[in-house]
Structure formats: C-alpha cells, structure tokens
Amino acid sequence: MSEPAAVPVHHAPRGFVRRYIFSTDHKVIGLQYFFLALFSVLVGMLLSLAMRYHLTNPDAKVRLFEMLWPDGAAGGLMTPELYLSLMTIHGTIMVFFVLTTAPQSGFGNYFLPLQIGAEDMAFPVLNMLSFWTTFLALVVLLAAFFVEGGAPLGGWTAYPPLSAIPAAGPGQGMGMTLWIASVGLFCVASLMGAINFITTIIDLRCTGMTLARMPLTVWGWFVTAIISLLAFGVLLAAAVLLLLDRGAGTSFYVPGGLIVNDRLLDHKGGSPLLWQHLFWFFGHPEVYIAILPGMGLVSQVLSVFARKPVFGYKAMVTAMLAIAVLGFVVWGHHMFVSGMSPYSAIAFSVLTMTIGVPSAIKTFNWIGTLWGGSIRFETPLLFAAGFVSLFVAGGISGIFLGQPTLDLYLHDTYFVVAHFHMIMGVAAIFGIFAATYYWFPKMFGRSMHSALGKAHFYLTFIGVYLIFVPMHSVGLAGNPRRYPDFKEFEFLAELGGAHTFISLAAYFTAAVQLLFLANLFWSMWKGRPAAANPWEATTLEWTVASPPPHDNFGGVTPQVHQGAYEYSVPGRSRDYVMQSEP
C-alpha cells in the first residue's frame, strides 16, 4: 500500500457538555487534568505559604487564617493541629494531584496519541471515567477541611496507629476517613489511567512507529504507567485495611495494649510497620511516577533545542527501565529507623545506592546531548537545563540519605524535606514548566511570551536554590520536620534566622509564579498565533495543525520512517528530519 490508509474523519461532538465536560477526547481530558493540576498546585502553594508564615511568625494573629479556618485559627492564631493539617493536605495534594497528575495524566493524555500516530487513547470512556474519579478524589480531599475536627494531621504518609485511631488527635476522625477515601479514589483513577496508557502504547502505534523509534516522552509515560499499575494497587489495598482498622474493629496495623488518652484500646495483634512497608512499596515508586515523565520530556526538549540527536537513546531507555525495576526494591530506605531489622537496612541501602547509577547515566547523557549542539535558548530549553541542574542538586543528597548510617541523624530532619522538595518537587515542576512552554503552541495555537517566560525561569531558578540550600543546612543542625513551631527547643531557637530567610525566599519564589500565570492566561487569548511546527521538531504532533483537529490526523493515518531524534543529519538541507518523512 503506497498511499496512507484513509479512515473516516471524526468530528467533535456538538454539545458543550459532551465536548468540554464529559468528553472522551484525549486532548480535552489532557487539558482537564492540566487545569485540575494547576488549581491543585495553587492550593498547595498557598498552604505552604501559610505554613512558612506561621513558622517564622508563630504568635501572629492573621485575619485571613481565621476567615479560612474559624476553628483552627480562632482569633487568627494558628493552632498546631491546623498547621499539621495544612501540611498533610499540602503534601497529599502536591504528590497526587500535581506531580502525578500533570506530567502523566495531563501531558501524557494530550500528547501520547499524537506522538504515536493514534486517533485517541485505546479506551476513551475509561479515560473520561479516570478523570472524573480524580476530580471526585480532589473534592473529597478538600472536603476534609470543612468537617468536624478539620483535616488530618498525620502527614501524607499517614502512619498508624496515629492514622488508625480516631481519638489520637483532632482531624483523625472524619477528616482522616475522607483522606483515606480520597487516596483510595485516586488509586482507582490511576489504575484506570495506567491500563489505558499501556494498552494504547502497545496497540495503537501507527505503521513504522517501532519501540526504538518512540520519542523518549512516550517511553517516560510507558514506564510510568507500568509503575503506576504495580504500585497503586498496593496503596489501595493498604488504604482499605486502614479503613477497616478504623471502622470495622480489625487490627491490621494496631498492636495490643495501646493506651490513648488514658484509655486502653481493645485492638490486638497488628503491626504499625506493615503499613509502612505497604505504603513505601507504593511510595518510593511514586517518586519515579512523578519524575520519569519529566525525564522523558527533558531528553526530548534538550535534543530539539540543541538540534542534536539524544545522546545514548538506548542507554536512556535502559536507564528508565532500570530505575523502574530498582524503584520497587528500595522502599526500605524510608524505614531505616523504623524498627525494621538492621540487616535488611543494609540490603536496602545497597539497592538504593545502585539507583544512583542509572540516574548518573541520565544526567551525563543530558549533558552529552547538549555537547556539540547548536543550542537555541528558548524558554523550554532553559527549564529543561534547569531541570538537569536541580536533578543533580536534589539527587546528590540521596547519597547521604541512602546510607542507614547517615540516616541515623538525618532521618526526618529538614535535610530530608529539602532533598525531596528539590528532586520530586522542584525538578519535577521544572519538567512540567518545560512541557508547558514547549507544548503550549500546539495545545492553544498561540505562543507564550518569550521574554516573560525567560524571566520566569531565571527568577524561579534563583528562588528555589535560595529556599532549599539553606534548608539542607537547617537539617544538618538537626531540625526535625513536621514541627508547627520551634519554641520548645533551645537548639531550634538558634535556627530562627535561617527559617526567616527560607520563608522570605519562598514568598519571593511564589510571587514570581504570577509571571507564569499571567503569561499562561494572556497567551491563551492574546498570544502570537503559532505555526504547526514552531520549534522545528521531528515528532508527529508537529505534523498537524495547532491546535490539532478532533481526530488528530484529519482522517489520515500517519506513517513513520525515522527515529525521533534525527537532527543535523549530514547531507540534508534542513537540520531536522520529521519522523513521517521517507
């Protein structure tokens, strides 16, 4: 067959509700996820600002706090339990509804079918169901603020017995139940999404799109979907058991002989460590769920803007797979001081440090991709290069925390907080920013403002280093995390200056994000109209109009003849060869 096969053109549904709300179009669903994540990141960021403000001004009376939380901040003074509930929701919303949602469900949904030459995801209705389940999970989570006792105070890790016993603190009643329900719903949604992604990638690649020609973004989503499928089921099971311990009188996590509020409980035979094993069996792979799509995107963006093939494509794919496999056997490094056998700590430690190897491969290959390139300094490139810098900065502290010996002091200090914010928070968010600036022209048919984007990059890059470098140091001074104030301890009083500095840097960095928001919304309506392929990139999404038609390729099934990274091929007049070019 020499001509591309013609398939019937599919038009978008006409009704507003079917088209934009209960849509089965992967592009609309991708945008829904994107805006859900955008809303969530704003909520999460505002919560963190409230926390940073309280840490540096523990006695301040703030009208706004009282308006938002009349019980938790009566008279404007934030109670410890309110602080801890803000922290819990901050962590939960950021991990699940931002870092898991935006790169995978958001950009993955929008661009996966486009990049592999498919008309839609394999299961469009399941896709819609997955989004609305995520939406419901978010509503249930935020509802926890408004029930009696408020949101739970046990952190996003929800360790029992604290999370299993409603009497263990305010927020551990209805608020905690809602938290578990929300996480359970999110697990279900993620499982649906994972099945859909895996099936789509296996079944719906167009002719010529072999695995070895897939863009690394697709590899990122593929590996992430596999991890999600294996990890979220475990968290779901763990959450159900926790719910049973709370409501049905079981004792999976609660041992006998507990005395809470001077009352002897009648639980018997459970183990608090069981939850930690199940939670971190999910929780550590979750870190890679958040960062792998970013890794794929960064590889993509560096190659496009360096006008150079990805350095070591096969090594990059192998490294992703290695990270995925190793990610499932290192969960114990979260539990070095938990009371688990000290022998297993050594085994987990060796496996953990092994994960540094594929991480190092990726870092050097990113630098190798830039090496010898002809770099175009557009905003997506800056965020991708910033990602590399932050990935190194955030990964390097893992060499400390992966050693049980050093964890004897550093565990649960601000050193850990700085570590995971740097790598899982900031580096992953830089991946999301890079994706936004990179794909915005395709999604909205307009360009984002370039100078504003660069200013946003530079100021954010400076801001995050100003926040998190001193935070490592505060951790080295032994500052425990999850303290609502630092008044009780003499050694913490000496760290007041550091905390003030960190808070100021956080306000600054948050303020800078207004540049992004302004640019995003202004460009949606007023941005310069974008061409079909403004970055001169090779992958299939750039062969169609911006934004793409409802059925992606206008009734034509594309054919692929090239790898995804044919830049600066000698003997060609243009410095890039589209994947669809013979």
Partner 1 sequence: MAFAALVWVVAAAVSVFFAARMWWFPEAISAHGADYDRQFAATWWVAGVIFVLAQLLLGWVMLRYRGMGRRAVYSHGNNALEMTWTLGGAVLFLGLVLIGTRIWAGVHLAAPRAGALEVEVSAKQFAWSYRYKGPDNRFGRTRPELANDSAGNPFGLDESDEAARDDVVTAMLRVPAGRPVVLMLTAKDVIHNFFVRELRIKQDTVPGMRIPLSFQAEKPGRYEVACSELCGLGHHQMRSTLLVMPAEEFDAWMREQAGP
The interface with partner 1 within residues 465-494 (CB under 8 A) comprises 465, 469-470, 473-474, 476-478, 480, 482-486, 488-491, 494
Report d(CA 188, CA 512) in Å as an integer: 35
419 vs 46, 47, 491, 494, CA distance in Å? 21, 20, 22, 22
Q: In the range 527-566, which residues lie near partner 1 by CB under 8 A?
A: 565
Q: In the range 357-416, which residues lie near partner 1 by CB under 8 A?
A: 357, 360-361, 363-365, 367-368, 370-377, 382, 385, 388-389, 392-393, 396-397, 399-400, 402-409, 411-413
One of 195, 230, 462, 504 touching partner 1 (CB under 8 A): 462
**Residue range at the interface with partner 1 (CB under 8 A); choices 74-82, 104-112, 418-426, 516-524:** 74-82
Taking the complex as a whole, the smallest distance from the CB of residue 358 to partner 1 amounts, in Å, to 8
Q: Select 227 or 410, whichever has its Cβ closest to partner 1.
A: 410
Site for partner 1 contains 153 (CB under 8 A) = yes
Q: In the range 170-189, which residues lie near partner 1 by CB under 8 A?
A: 170
Report d(CA 547, CA 400) in Å as an integer: 46
**Residue range at the interface with partner 1 (CB under 8 A); choices 78-86, 116-124, 126-134, 210-218:** 78-86
User: CA angle 408-410-412, nearest 5°?
Assistant: 105
Taking the complex as a whole, the smallest distance from the CB of residue 114 to partner 1 amounts, in Å, to 24
Q: Is 257 left (phi over 0), alpha (psi -120 to 50) or beta?
A: left
Taking the complex as a whole, the smallest distance from the CB of residue 26 to partner 1 amounts, in Å, to 31
Report d(CA 4, CA 15) in Å as an integer: 32
One of 338, 500, 557, 559 touching partner 1 (CB under 8 A): 338
- Backbone CA torsion sign across 344, 345, 350, 352: positive
* Residues in contact with partner 1, shown as a per-residue x/- string from 216 to 245 under the rule CB under 8 A: ------------------------------
Taking the complex as a whole, the smallest distance from the CB of residue 272 to partner 1 amounts, in Å, to 5
Neighbours of 250 (CB within 10 A): 17
Report d(CA 378, CA 307) in Å as an integer: 12
- Backbone CA torsion sign across 127, 130, 136, 138: negative
Taking the complex as a whole, the smallest distance from the CB of residue 278 to partner 1 amounts, in Å, to 15
Taking the complex as a whole, the smallest distance from the CB of residue 298 to partner 1 amounts, in Å, to 12
One of 15, 247, 256, 554 touching partner 1 (CB under 8 A): 256
- SS3 per residue for 481-509: CCCCCCCCCHHHHCCHHHHHHHHHHHHHH
**Residue range at the interface with partner 1 (CB under 8 A); choices 59-67, 113-121, 259-267, 424-432:** 259-267
One of 42, 62, 68, 498 touching partner 1 (CB under 8 A): 498
29 vs 34, 39, 142, CA distance in Å? 8, 15, 22
Report d(CA 306, CA 500) in Å as an integer: 40
Q: Select 146 or 491, whichever has its Cβ closest to partner 1.
A: 491
Task: State the burial class of residue 313 (Cβ atoms within 10 Å of its Cβ: 0-12, 13-18, 19+).
Answer: buried
Q: In the range 411-440, which residues lie near partner 1 by CB under 8 A?
A: 411-413
237 vs 95, 208, 225, 418, CA distance in Å? 19, 40, 19, 30
**Rg of the chain in Å (alpha carbons):** 24
Site for partner 1 contains 79 (CB under 8 A) = yes
263-264 and 259-260 strand pairing: antiparallel
Structure token digits, residue 31? 């945008």
Taking the complex as a whole, the smallest distance from the CB of residue 408 to partner 1 amounts, in Å, to 5
**Residue range at the interface with partner 1 (CB under 8 A); choices 5-13, 103-111, 216-224, 457-465:** 457-465
**Residue range at the interface with partner 1 (CB under 8 A); choices 97-105, 233-241, 256-264, 293-301:** 256-264
Q: Select 194 or 506, whichever has its Cβ closest to partner 1.
A: 506
| 213 Cβ neighbours under 8 A, 6+ residues apart | 560, 562, 563, 564, 579
Taking the complex as a whole, the smallest distance from the CB of residue 575 to partner 1 amounts, in Å, to 6
Taking the complex as a whole, the smallest distance from the CB of residue 452 to partner 1 amounts, in Å, to 15
Q: Select 404 or 441, whichever has its Cβ closest to partner 1.
A: 404
Q: How many chain residues are in contact with partner 1, going by CB under 8 A?
A: 116
59 vs 75, 166, 443, CA distance in Å? 11, 29, 46
Q: In the range 8-27, which residues lie near partner 1 by CB under 8 A?
A: none
* Residues in contact with partner 1, shown as a per-residue x/- string from 104 to 133 under the rule CB under 8 A: ------------------------------
Structure token digits, residue 38? 């955008």
Q: In the range 81-100, which residues lie near partner 1 by CB under 8 A?
A: 81, 84
One of 307, 450, 547, 556 touching partner 1 (CB under 8 A): 307
Closest CA to 52 of 477, 498, 475, 502: 502
Task: State the burial class of residue 274 (Cβ atoms within 10 Å of its Cβ: 0-12, 13-18, 19+).
Answer: middle
